């Protein structure tokens, strides 16, 4: 019941290899950006993690819809797993975004649409977890989690648009008001290669970790059921 | 011609965050997994005793 | 649905709304607390943001919507909590009528409460700061914004009220999701107050309408799962 499936072991090895490869590519293959210097390389990790954070969000909403339709607890386990992972990846994306901004625009934060939307997504993730924490009944917890994941996912594109329209009328006032506040630099072909490699690599890492977290969720469910049975 | 800015410290900081936060999370996963496994074993023993 | 279903639906809807409104009219707890709260928020803003007349012009719409958002949360929490505590929810669920009646009834009642608060806050603010807030454009924005807010809010309040951390949970759930609405409402209100040309305000109005339509549709699809016991 608990043996690690062979495919998962393969995925583990692949994930580690891809992360190592990405790091090496970023450090040694990608060229140094003319103006920003070394810190621009943080960008590759920043975007990869933000992408995974967004992917998690979509998976959470899909799992929510699946749960509401099938009432199968399996989907609830997926939902919780992906939200937890999403929070971690988004957090890394947020902090690296801030680190990238600091030497370039002399500010730890820019209110540009992408970074702001990422923050709001992180807050929705946290709210999801807090909602679950406050509910005892597993079935209701799953149901409410599913509903909130769907609401959250629907709101995010709207949030992004609203801030985007806001920004085109009010350019960034805090820090540098250069219109390139969204991260303007031209990417050479080598940069693009590393960029996409990073995205793919971390997508694989995401699915690897998701599988692990789902297995842990199933284990937690088994433990809960044992406890319930023994207390009767 | 001016070279690129020396921002190597920020790069190191960024990498530290990327790998550090992930490492912390992985450690928490492993530790939670171990605790759950222990719980499962104990509970299974109690279960078979009954 | 058969021929008699539609009028039955609407009379049930009206019954749900009326129950809430009548109950509130008798005790007036909800409205008075929302109102006092809203006025206090305006007062605090007055001291927190010491503004001259010009700066105030830029900030009015923001202050108004923050006030509505917070007072609205208060109202939402209370209206669902009362339901839950008195066990009325179970009674409603037994009624032989489509579940969505409960949701829409509650939302509309909450909408009435929110608009009632606005009906008092707007004139008070107008008087205190010598601004005319009674323009049709602004009133439209208040209506559209309240509609969306109340739709999402009623849905989330139904969930939050069943959690242990009920009071603090609603704002935590609601605010991140309602941001596009608030941004659009504030910008549209400001546009009307500053008498900007309609094409400038149009994108914000569109966003408001889109938000309302999308979330009313989503709420309709999802409410069943929130109320079933």
Q: How far apart are CA C61 and CA C74, in angstroms?
A: 20
Nearest Cβ partner for A45 among B5, B14, B37: B14
Q: Does residue C2 sit in helix, strand or coil? A: coil
Q: Which of C164, C147, C182 is nearest to C70 (CA)?
A: C182
Q: What is the largest CA-CA distance in chain A?
A: 69
- Among A115-124, A133-142, C34-43, C45-54, name the one with the lowest average pLDDT: C45-54
Question: What is the pLDDT, as a whole number, of residue C92?
Answer: 63
The CA distance from A114 to the nearest CA of chain B, in Å, is: 18
CB contact under 8 Å between B10 and A99, yes or no, is yes
How far is Cα C56 from Cα C51, in angstroms, rounded to an integer? 6
Residue with tokens 């350019």: A171
Say what the pLDDT of residue A196 is.
93
- Scanning every residue of chain A, which has its alpha carbon at the shortest distance from the alpha carbon of C148? A155
- Flag the least confident range among A101-105, A154-158, A185-189, C165-169: A185-189
Cα distance from C108 to chain A (closest Cα, Å)?
A: 20
Task: Say how many C-beta atoms besides its own lie within 10 A of residue C84's C-beta.
Answer: 15
pLDDT at A172: 46
How far apart are the CA of B31 and the nearest CA of chain A, in angstroms? Answer: 11
The beta-carbon contacts of A57-60 under 8 Å, at least 24 apart in sequence, are A57/A86, A57/A121, A57/A125, A57/A152, A57/A153, A57/A156, A58/A153, A59/A210, A60/A86, A60/A128, A60/A149, A60/A152, A60/A153
Whether C149 contacts chain A with CB within 8 A: no
- DSSP state letter for A26: I
Angstrom distance (rounded) from CA C93 to CA C107: 16
**pLDDT exceeding 90 applies to what percent of chain C?**
31
State the pLDDT at residue C208.
Answer: 95
Question: Which residues make Cβ contacts (< 8 Å) with residue C211, sequence separation at least 6?
Answer: A158, C148, C180, C181, C184
Q: Residue A178: pLDDT band by 50, 70, 90 thresholds?
A: very low
Strand partners, C44: none
Tell whether B32 is within 8 A of chain A (Cβ). Answer: yes
The residue with tokens 């019941």 is A1
**CA–CA separation, A132 and A129 (whole Å):** 5
Q: What are the pLDDT digits (tens) for C57-114? A: 778 888 899 999 988 998 888 777 766 666 665 666 666 667 778 888 889 989 998 9
Map residue A93 onto helix, strand or coil.
helix
For residue A186, give Cα distances in angstroms to A107, A121, A197, C63.
Answer: 22, 28, 18, 41
A19 touches chain C (CB under 8 A): no
| Mutate: best of B10, B16, B20, partner A, most A CBs <10 A | B10
d(CA C140, CA C218) in angstroms, rounded, equals 23
pLDDT interval class at B2 (50, 70, 90): low
Say yes or no to pLDDT of C28 above 80.
no
CA-only gyration radius of chain A, Å: 20
Q: Tell me, what DSSP letter sits at residue A186?
A: P
Q: Which residue has the higher pLDDT, A151 or C19?
A: A151
Pick the more confident residue, C181 or A39. C181
- pLDDT tens digits along A149-173: 999 999 999 998 888 888 766 554 3
pLDDT for position B34: 95
The model's pLDDT over A106-136, given as tens digits with 9 standing for 90+, comes to: 888 878 788 889 999 999 999 999 999 999 8
pLDDT of residue B3: 62
Report d(CA A181, CA A228) in Å as an integer: 55
Q: Do chains B and C touch (3 or more CB pairs under 8 A)?
A: no
Which string of b and e fits A97-110 if b means at least 16 CB within 10 Å?
A: bbbbbbbbbeeebb
Average pLDDT over every residue of C35-61: 79
Does A1 score more than 80 pLDDT?
A: no
**Radius of gyration over every alpha carbon of chain B, rounded to an integer in angstroms:** 23
What is the structure's pLDDT at A30? 81
Instruction: Judge whether B20 is closer than 8 Å to chain A, CB to CB.
Output: no
Chain segment C160-178, per-residue pLDDT in tens: 988 888 788 999 999 999 9
Q: Which of B11, B40, B42 to mutate to test the interface with A (most CBs of A within 10 A)?
A: B11
**CA dist A67 → A140, C99, C199 (Å):** 12, 20, 43
The residue in chain A having the minimum alpha-carbon distance to the alpha carbon of residue C183 is A162
For A228, what's the count of Cα atoms within 13 Å in the CB-facing half-sphere?
8
Instruction: For C126-159, write each residue's pLDDT tens digit.
Output: 887 778 888 888 999 999 999 999 999 999 999 9
User: Which residues from chain B sit within 8 angstroms of residue A45, using beta carbons?
Assistant: 14-15, 18
Mean pLDDT of chain A: 87
> Who's near B33: CB < 8 A, 6+ residues apart?
A216, A219
Residue A8 has pLDDT above 50, yes or no: yes
**Residue range A183-206: average pLDDT?**
86
Do B21 and A91 count as a contact with CB atoms less than 8 A apart?
yes
Q: What is the pLDDT of residue C150?
A: 96
Q: Please, which chains are in contact with B (at least 3 CB pairs closer than 8 A)? A: A
* Residues in chain A whose Cβ is within 8 Å of chain B: 2, 23, 32-42, 45-46, 49, 88, 91-92, 95-96, 99-100, 102-103, 209, 212-213, 216, 219-220, 222-223, 226-227, 229-230
Quick one: pLDDT at residue A2? 65
On the question of pLDDT at A218 being above 80, the answer is: yes
* C149, C159, C181: best to mutate for the A interface, most A CBs within 10 A: C159
**Would you state the pLDDT for residue C56?**
74
Q: Which tokens belong to A43?
A: 């960008």
**Residue in the structure block whose two tokens are 């700066």:** C55
Q: Does A120 touch chain C (CB under 8 A)?
A: yes
Residue A37 pairs in a beta bridge with: A33
Contact C61, C193 (CB under 8 A): yes
Contact A149, A60 (CB under 8 A): yes
pLDDT recorded at residue A173 = 38
Longest CA–CA span in chain C (Å) reads: 62
């Amino acid at each position: 019941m608990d043996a690690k499936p062979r495919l998962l072991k393969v995925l583990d090895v692949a994930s580690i290899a891809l992360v190592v490869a990405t790091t090496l590519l970023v450090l040694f293959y990608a060229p140094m950006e003319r103006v920003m210097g070394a810190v621009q390389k943080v960008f590759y990790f920043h975007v990869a993690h933000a992408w995974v954070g967004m992917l998690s969000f979509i998976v959470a909403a899909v799992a929510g819809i699946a749960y509401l339709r099938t009432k199968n607890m399996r989907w609830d386990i997926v939902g919780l797993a992906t939200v937890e992972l999403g929070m971690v990846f988004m957090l890394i994306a947020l902090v690296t975004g801030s680190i990238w901004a600091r030497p370039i625009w002399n500010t730890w934060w820019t209110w540009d649409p992408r970074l702001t939307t990422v923050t709001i997504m992180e807050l929705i993730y946290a709210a999801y977890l807090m909602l679950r924490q406050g509910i005892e009944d597993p079935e209701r917890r799953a149901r409410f989690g599913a509903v909130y994941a769907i609401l959250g996912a629907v709101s995010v594109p709207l949030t992004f648009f609203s801030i985007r329209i806001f920004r085109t009328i009010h350019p960034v006032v805090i820090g540098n008001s250069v219109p390139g506040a969204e991260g303007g630099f031209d990417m050479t072909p080598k940069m693009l290669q590393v960029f996409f490699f990073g995205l793919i690599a971390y997508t694989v890492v995401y699915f690897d970790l998701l599988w692990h977290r789902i297995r842990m969720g199933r284990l937690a469910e088994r433990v809960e059921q044992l406890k319930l049975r023994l207390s009767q | 011609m001016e070279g690129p800015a020396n921002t190597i410290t920020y790069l190191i900081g960024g990498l530290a965050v990327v790998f550090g936060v992930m490492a912390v999370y992985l450690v928490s996963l492993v530790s939670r997994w171990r605790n759950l496994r222990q719980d499962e074993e104990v509970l299974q023993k109690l279960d078979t005793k009954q | 649905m058969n021929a008699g279903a539609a009028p039955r639906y609407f009379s049930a809807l009206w019954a749900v709304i009326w129950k809430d409104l009548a109950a509130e009219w008798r005790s007036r707890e909800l409205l008075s607390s929302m109102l006092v709260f809203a006025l206090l928020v305006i007062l605090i803003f007055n001291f927190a943001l010491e503004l001259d007349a010009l700066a105030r012009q830029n900030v009015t719409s923001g202050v108004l919507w923050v006030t509505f958002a917070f007072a609205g949360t208060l109202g939402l929490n209370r209206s669902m909590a009362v339901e839950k505590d008195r066990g009325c929810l179970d009674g409603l669920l037994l009624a032989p009528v489509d579940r969505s009646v409960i949701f829409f009834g509650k939302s509309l009642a909450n909408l009435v409460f929110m608009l009632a608060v606005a009906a008092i806050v707007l004139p008070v603010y107008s008087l205190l700061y010598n601004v005319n807030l009674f323009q049709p454009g602004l009133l439209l924005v208040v209506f559209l914004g309240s509609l969306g807010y109340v739709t999402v809010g009623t849905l989330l309040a139904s969930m939050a009220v069943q959690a242990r951390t009920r009071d603090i949970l609603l704002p935590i759930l609601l605010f991140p999701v309602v941001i596009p609405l608030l941004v659009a409402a504030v910008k549209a209100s400001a546009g009307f107050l500053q008498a900007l040309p309609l094409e400038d305000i149009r994108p914000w109005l569109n966003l408001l309408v889109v938000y309302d339509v999308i979330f009313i549709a989503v709420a309709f699809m999802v409410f069943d799962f929130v109320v079933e016991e």
